[in-house]
Amino acid sequence: MITVSDVSLKFSEKPLFKDVNLKFMKGNCYGIIGANGAGKSTFLKVLSGEIEHDSGEISMSAGERMAILSQDHFKYDEYSVKETVMMGFPKLYEIGKEKDAIYEKPDFSEEDGIRAAELEAEFGELGGYEAENQIEQMLSGLGLEEENHDKMMSELDESQKVRVLLAQALFGNPDYLILDEPTNGLDLESIGWLEEFLLEFENCVIVVSHDRHFLNAVCTYICDIDYGKITQFTGNYDFWYQMSQVLQKQAKDQQKKREDKMADLKAFIQRFASNVSKAGQASSRKKVLEKLELEELPVTSRKFPFVGFTPDREIGNFVLTAEKINSKDSDGTVLLDNFSITVHPGEKIAFVGMEHNSITSFFDIIAGVKKADSGEFTWGQTTSQTYMGRDNSSYFTNDMNITEWLKQFSKEQDDSYVRGFLGRMLFTGDDSLKKVKVLSGGEKVRCMLSKMMLSGANVLILDDPTNHLDLESIESLNEGLVKFHGVVLFSSHDHEFISTIANRIIEITPKGIIDRMMNFDDYLKDNQVKELRKEYYAGTDKKIRI
- What's 353's DSSP letter? S
Which pLDDT score, from 0 to 100, does residue 419 have?
A: 87
Q: What is the pLDDT of residue 446?
A: 92
Give the mean model confidence (pLDDT) for residues 116-126. Answer: 88
Cα(156)–Cα(150) distance, integer angstroms: 11
Residue 496: the pLDDT is 94
pLDDT digits (tens, 9 = 90+) for 454-495: 999 999 999 999 988 989 999 999 999 999 999 999 999 999
pLDDT at residue 195 in the model: 95
Mean of the per-residue pLDDT values of the chain: 90
Would the pLDDT of 546 be above 60? no
- What pLDDT is stored for residue 294 in this prediction? 63
Give residue 200's pLDDT.
93
> Facing residues of 505 across strands?
350, 516
Give the pLDDT score at 162: 92
% of the chain residues with pLDDT over 70: 98
DSSP state of 427: -
- pLDDT of the residue at 540: 76
Q: How far apart are CA 361 and CA 374, in angstroms?
A: 13
Q: Helices in 298-399 by DSSP H: which ranges?
A: 356-366
Q: What does the DSSP assignment read for 435-460? A: BGGG--HHHHHHHHHHHHHHHT-SEE
Mean pLDDT over residues 45-65, rounded?
91
Q: Report which of 79, 60, 65, 62 is spatially closest to residue 126, judged by C-alpha positions.
A: 65
Over residues 214-232, the mean pLDDT reads 93
Strand segments, DSSP code E, in 364-479 are 374-379, 385-388, 459-463
Give the pLDDT confidence of 69-102 residue by residue, as tens digits. 998 889 999 999 999 999 999 999 899 888 888 8
Q: Is it the case that residue 111 has pLDDT exceeding 70?
A: yes
Rounded CA-CA distance 151/497 in Å is 35
Residues 351 and 363: their CA atoms lie apart, in Å, by: 10
Confidence (pLDDT) at 545:
62
Name the more confident of 285 and 374: 374
Q: Please report the pLDDT score of residue 296 as a whole number.
A: 64
Find out whether 135 and 80 touch, Cβ atoms under 8 Å.
no
Q: Which residues contact 13 (CB under 8 A, 6 or more apart)?
A: none
What is the structure's pLDDT at 164?
Answer: 95
Torsion of CA 283, 285, 287, 290, to 10 degrees: -130
In this prediction, residues 152-159 reach a mean pLDDT of 91
pLDDT band at 301 (very low <50, low <70, confident <90, very high): confident
In tens, the pLDDT along 521-545 reads 999 999 999 999 999 888 777 777 6
